[in-house]
């Protein structure tokens, strides 16, 4: 494992509860750090995103994103086991949270024109009409 992360960067990462190894693996896909010494994945962060004597604003954002990605993967990997252990109330709560998030994601993708209704329907495993009836009409 090679990394050139500054002491400050390593301390910020550790203080967040992540290990240096997990942070690097999650952001680079291998054990070597190719980003800038300050902890930004952009190898030209120092001197461009901020000056050398300034704190890196990218690192805290990246740490938050890294945590989100890690919990997302943990949830996906353990979904079956976790769901089996849940009460009806918890399942209902989760279903509402998932429905809300699907709706938000669809609105967002439609608003910025990233996906067509065909593409959304395909991803959700429903017909185009079903997707439009359920998630359309909100402007
Ligand atoms: Zn940066
Ligand atoms: Zn930086």
**Do 79 and 95 belong to one domain?**
no
Average pLDDT value over all residues in the chain = 93
**Distance, CA 43 to ligand 2 centroid (Å)?**
9
Residues 13 and 79 in one domain: yes
The residues facing 50 across adjacent strands are 46
For the stretch 16-56, pLDDT in tens is: 999 999 999 999 989 999 999 999 999 999 999 999 999 99
Exposed, middle or buried, 40 (CB in 10 Å: 0-12/13-18/19+)? Answer: buried
70 and 118 assigned to the same domain? no
Gap from CA of 47 to ligand 2 centroid (Å)? 8
Residues 21 and 63 occupy one common structural domain: yes
Query: Residues 60, 2: one domain?
Result: yes
Decide: 31 and 24 in contact? Cβ < 8 Å.
yes
Q: What is the pLDDT of residues 84-100, one digit of tens each?
A: 999 999 999 999 999 99
Mean pLDDT, rounded, for 55-78? 95
What average pLDDT does this structure show over 56-83? Answer: 95
Q: Same domain for 54 and 94?
A: no
**Contacting residues for 95 by C-beta, under 8 A, at least 6 apart:** none
0.85 cut: is pTM over it? no
Q: Which ligand is nearest to the CA of 50?
A: 2
Cβ atoms of residues 43 and 36 within 8 Å: yes
- The domain total for the chain is 2
Of the listed ligands, the closest to the CA of 6 is 2
State whether 63 and 107 are in the same domain: no
Same domain, 91 and 79: no
Domain span including residue 61: 1-85
- What pLDDT is attached to residue 138? 53
Question: What spacing in Å lies between the alpha carbon of 112 and ligand 1's midpoint?
Answer: 26
Ion ligand 1 neighbours, Cβ < 5 Å? 40, 42, 45, 49, 58
Give the pLDDT confidence score for residue 139 in this predicted structure.
Answer: 46
82 Cα to the center of ligand 2, angstroms = 37
């Amino acid at each position: 494992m090679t990394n050139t992360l500054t002491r400050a960067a390593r301390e910020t990462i550790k203080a967040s509860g992540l290990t240096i190894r997990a942070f690097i693996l999650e952001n680079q896909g291998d054990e070597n750090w190719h980003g800038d010494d300050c902890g930004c994945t952009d190898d030209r962060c120092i001197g461009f995103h901020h000056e050398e004597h300034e704190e890196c604003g990218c690192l805290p954002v990246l740490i938050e994103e890294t945590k989100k990605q890690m919990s997302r993967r943990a949830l996906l990997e353990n979904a079956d086991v976790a769901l089996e252990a849940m009460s009806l109330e918890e399942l209902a709560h989760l279903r509402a949270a998932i429905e809300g998030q699907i709706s938000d994601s669809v609105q967002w993708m439609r608003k910025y024109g990233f996906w067509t209704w065909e593409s959304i329907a395909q991803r959700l495993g429903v017909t185009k009409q079903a997707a439009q009836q359920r998630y359309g009409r909100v402007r």
